[in-house]
Structure 1
């Protein structure tokens, strides 16, 4: 069973438990638990890997393979609906805190998913596509650096992409990050303005 499938199962269980005791939307609770499990478990597993393990793992597992990446992205974007809902119910502090947690975890899940995808593309055939300007082969944290840099700046910083097979997902990632960031910032400013009035 994949990390994502187990994360979804944990999310649904957590949603049931949380929904029974809190006045937080069960869908938001499910997404928060799922995303937290997915991001936490992914980095607890992949973060310590050396280059050889990264290469071996990236070649055999990619959560973006088979549509799972689409599920993560759609679920993360669906969390935007909770922000819109909070705009109309901002007096409910549990809902506001849940929304903030959902936004942060959605953001982390998107970039985690892209980091693993970059690793798979890099270690595919032929190897390469990102110049990290280092002699040692890249590890998952190097791919996380690329993914979170694109996620925060909508661009590549001190690494260089070479070839369409790496530029294509980077373009999708940058556009998705820009959309996510712009909508979130606009809605969050509205939320803060609503809370202060």
Structure 2
């Protein structure tokens, strides 16, 4: 993932767009990461989810933190891109606006996909439990994705019951991040509408 992102950033810079190369690199890496995650987990059953979620990986927590930090940092880069888009004309304005929209969407997808993995790890580590999905069979990754993206889209849980402090704390952190992304999406939308109105 990291190597692909660096390659995309360098390619963007060599094409003469160095100011936007970090964001393009992040977008590329995030797309690769999300595609890898979903390609891996979408068909896993409960037993496979348990085995994968509890696999020893000493660097997992640090890697997760880096990904979330990069996603949040990308929002700052989106702000820069939108400022540049407001003063650009024609196709350049459209390209920069599109880059901003894609970057927010990709970062949003990456963060909530990562939290789905996190909930599975918290649930299956030690004595399984901590989230009641109101079903008789053990949860699989898609169940944890349901929880994660529900929080990501509504800032709350729906029909699941969070039963441990660590899982509730994780949900709180995710909800705050989701609110931040929601604010950026709203700001991006307003900026694009204003830009289209002024250019028209």
Note whether the superposition's TM-score is higher than 0.5.
Answer: yes
Matches of residues 5-84 of structure 1 in structure 2 within 5 Å? 7-21=1-15, 23=17, 25-60=20-55, 65-84=60-79
1:62 Cα shift? 6.7
1:61 Cα shift? 5.6
Identify if the C-alpha distance between structure 1 residues 195 and 130 changes in structure 2 by more than 3 Å, giving closer, same or farther. Answer: same
Give CA deviations for 1:115-141 in whole Å, capped at 9, x if unaligned: 000000000112111111111111111
Aligned partner of 2:82 in structure 1 is 87
CA distance in 1, matches of 2:61, 2:115: 14
Aligned partner of 1:178 in structure 2 is 179
Identify if the C-alpha distance between structure 1 residues 105 and 156 changes in structure 2 by more than 3 Å, giving closer, same or farther. Answer: same
Q: TM-score under structure 2 normalisation?
A: 0.88
CA distance in 2, matches of 1:55, 1:45: 14
Which of 1 and 2 has greater Rg?
A: 2
What is the root-mean-square deviation in Å for CA atoms of aligned residues?
1.9
CA distance in 1, matches of 2:111, 2:79: 20
Q: TM-score under structure 1 normalisation?
A: 0.90
Aligned partner of 1:106 in structure 2 is 107
Aligned partner of 1:190 in structure 2 is 191
Aligned partner of 1:4 in structure 2 is none
CA distance in 2, matches of 1:46, 1:187: 31
Unpaired segments of 5 or more residues in structure 2? none
CA distance in 1, matches of 2:146, 2:61: 24
The answer as to whether partners of 2:82 and 2:96 remain within 8 angstroms in 1 is: no
Question: Secondary structure in 2 aligned to 1:60?
Answer: coil
